[in-house]
Structure 1
Amino acid sequence: MVEVREVRRLCYGFARRTGGTLTDFRVPAVTPNFWQAVIEYPGRTVSVVAANDVPVIALARPRSLDFAPARESGPLEFVDEPELAAVLAETERFQVLTPADLERSFNAEDWPHLTRSDIAYWKPATVGEALFNYWD
Structure 2
Amino acid sequence: MLDVREFRAACHAAARRTAGSLVEFRLARRATPSFHQGVIAYRDKTVAVVCDRNAPLTAIAQPRVIEGVDALDSGPLTFLDIPGLHGALETILGHRVLTKADLNAPFQQADWPHIAATDIKYWRPTTVGEALFNFWD
Q: Give TM-score, length-normalised by structure 1.
A: 0.92
Match of 2:35 in 1: 34
Greater alpha carbon shift after TM alignment, 6-15 vs 124-133: 6-15
Compute the displacement of 1:86 (Å): 1.7
- Where 1:102 maps in the other structure, the secondary structure is helix
Match of 2:84 in 1: 83
| 1:103 paired residue number | 104
Displaced runs of 4 or more, over 2 A: 68-73, 91-95
Structure 2: runs of 5 or more not aligned: none
Q: Is the 8 A contact 1:65 1:72 kept in 2?
A: no
Asked if the contact 1:56–1:96 (Cα under 8 Å) also holds between the matched residues in 2, the reply is yes
Instruction: State the Cα distance separating 1:25 from its structure 2 match.
Output: 0.4
Report the CA distance between 1:27 and its aligned residue: 0.5
Q: Which runs of 5+ in 1 are unaligned?
A: none
Q: Which residue of the partner structure matches residue 51 of structure 1?
A: 52
Q: Structure 1 residues 99, 33: closer, same or farther in 2, change over 3 A?
A: same
CA contact (8 A) 1:55 1:93 kept: no
Contact 2:26 2:38 in 1 (8 A): yes
Higher percent of residues as helix = 2
- In the TM superposition, what is the alpha-carbon distance from 1:68 to its structure 2 partner? 4.6
Take 1:130 and 1:70, find their aligned partners in 2: how far apart are those partners?
A: 16
Quick one: percent identity of the two aligned structures? 49
- CA shift for structure 1 position 70: 7.1
2:129 is paired with a residue of what secondary structure?
Answer: helix
CA RMSD in angstroms comes to 1.6
Q: Secondary structure at the match of 1:49?
A: strand
Length, aligned pairs only: 136
- Aligned position for 2:62: 61
Shift of the 92–26 alpha-carbon distance from structure 1 to 2, 3 Å rule, reads closer
Task: Say whether the 8 Å CA contact 1:103–1:128 is kept in structure 2.
Answer: yes
